[in-house]
């Protein structure tokens, strides 16, 4: 299972510098910049998923920074340390162990994992995955289009529209943060013809723009999956070190 992340993320007017696929509208006020996380730092998240049959699925992930580059880009090892198998209604929600590359705005550019047949699979985003280019200010909006491809599969096209709504206090298991609240809509159609529309609210610590909380609802159209599928997700920062 992929996080809606970096996972996450994963984890939202249009901002400049989106590789020609986006734009920005300026806003006055405080400007918030992304801070590359320190080498060897670790963030642990819990994720609660509700599926179409009202099942509750609980998984977790740790993200450890293994490389920091001079330009502020970095690499993380993302995994569930206990490596459980979580299958509900025929869908595997288990967290893959992934080596993830991110740019200096914390947007994913690629990740690598080992498939069940022991082959190494590389997945890439062009120009990068979801989220705005930083710095941002409250009131700014962004649009983004990108492609995503894994191994030899045909690339998928994603589109995102988002707004930096406000700065507010939010409490999660890791503590209470002053956080930017970002709201966005992310849409894509997979190779089976299923269109997913994700409505995402993401809270990011104002000091680092690290994600501390995400709430995601997912609507489906086109070819509806025949096995279980997630309709909402909540991702909470449990601890950071």
DSSP letter (8 states) at residue 133: P
CATH of 23-236, one of 2.60.40, 3.10.590, 3.30.70, 2.40.360: 2.40.360
For residue 5, what are the contacts with CB-CB under 8 A and spacing of at least 6? 11, 108, 211, 214, 235
pLDDT tens per residue across all 241 residues of the chain:
444 333 333 332 222 223 333 444 445 589 999 999 999 999 999 999 999 999 999 999 999 999 999 999 999 999 998 888 999 999 999 999 999 999 999 999 999 999 989 999 999 999 999 999 999 999 999 999 999 999 999 999 999 999 999 999 999 999 999 999 999 999 999 999 999 999 999 999 999 999 999 999 999 999 999 999 999 999 999 999 9
- Output the pLDDT for position 29: 81
- CA distances to 83, 154, 162, 179 from 183, rounded to whole Å, are 31, 29, 5, 13
Cis omega (within 30 of 0) for bond into 205: no
Predicted structure pTM score:
0.88
pLDDT at 83: 86
Q: Residue 118 contacts by C-beta under 8 Å, 6 or more apart in sequence?
A: none
């Amino acid at each position: 299972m992929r996080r809606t992340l970096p996972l996450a993320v994963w984890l939202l007017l249009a901002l400049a510098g989106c590789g020609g696929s986006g734009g920005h509208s300026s806003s006055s006020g405080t400007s918030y910049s992304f801070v590359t996380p320190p080498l060897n730092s670790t963030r642990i998240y819990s994720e609660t998923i509700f599926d179409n049959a009202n099942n509750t699925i609980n998984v977790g992930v740790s993200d450890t920074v293994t490389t920091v580059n001079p330009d502020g880009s970095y690499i993380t090892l993302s995994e569930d340390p206990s490596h459980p198998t979580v299958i509900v209604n025929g869908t595997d929600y288990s967290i893959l162990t992934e080596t993830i590359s991110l740019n200096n705005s914390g947007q994913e550019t690629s990740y690598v994992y080992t498939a069940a047949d022991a082959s190494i699979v590389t997945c890439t985003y062009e120009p990068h995955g979801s989220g705005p280019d930083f710095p941002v200010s409250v009131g700014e909006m962004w649009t983004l289009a990108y492609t995503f491809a894994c191994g030899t599969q045909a690339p998928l096209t994603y589109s995102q529209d988002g707004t930096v709504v406000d700065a507010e206090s939010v409490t999660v298991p890791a503590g209470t943060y002053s956080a930017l609240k970002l709201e966005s809509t992310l849409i894509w159609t997979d190779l089976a013809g299923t269109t997913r529309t994700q409505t995402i609210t993401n809270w990011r610590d104002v000091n680092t723009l690290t994600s501390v909380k995400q709430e995601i609802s997912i609507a489906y159209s086109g070819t509806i999956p025949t096995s279980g599928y997630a309709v909402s997700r909540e991702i909470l920062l449990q601890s950071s070190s």
